[in-house]
Chain A
């Protein structure tokens, strides 16, 4: 059973638009919610992460919105650029040894 459900599977956005990727979880014990970015031929790299004591975290053009009551969190990419084209994975964990990943979203930003 998928511990973290991610949607959409793929996303096409115009340059300058907003990309939104959503994730949902069931386990209320999760206390760390990272997003990983993966370019072709590379391993995933940590992009941004949030803990459930805040509802939003912003780093540059990347923002995580977190809704604890709905058990949902999302990644927003503002002013999307072609260089943002990658696969994005959400994840959730109670500790490093049980990091559960979503199924991934392939983002394509067209010029």
Chain B
């Protein structure tokens, strides 16, 4: 089974602090994604990466950056957290080719910014 691991289930930070969320996948997928999930808004794409060191902005990239130094690892960075970034953050991966539309999600990190 594909496994996408987000090691932090809950995280509490203060306004202005730097936040680093890490995601690791074990299926050698080329594509990786960061979404945020908010009640009533569904899932919104923050950034995605289709290769090592490559990244593309999603629908809501403001206030976020990403890093992909290794194929299996995709990190989301909040340089200066704000209260409106309190949310559930979901990482996902998918292969290239015919199956590229099938996303595999991690269990998420619930971030609270106080």
Structural contact, A95 and B101, CB atoms closer than 8 A? yes
Interface string of A84-111 (1 = CB under 8 A from B): 0000010001011111011110000000
Chain B residues bordering chain A, tally (CB within 8 A) = 23
Which secondary structure dominates chain A's binding surface? mixed
Specify which chain B residues have a CB less than 8 angstroms from the CB of A96 in the assembled complex: 31, 94, 100-103
Q: How far is the CB of B90 from chain A (nearest CB, A)?
A: 5
- CB contacts (< 8 Å) of A98 on chain B: these are 45
The answer to whether B101 touches A93 (Cβ under 8 A) is: yes
Which residues does chain B contribute within 8 Å of A32, judged by CB atoms?
A: 101
Q: How far is the CA of A9 from the CA of B41 in the complex (A)?
A: 11
Q: Which residues on A are within 8 Å of B, measured CB to CB?
A: 2, 6, 9, 32, 34, 36, 41-46, 49, 89, 93, 95-99, 101-104
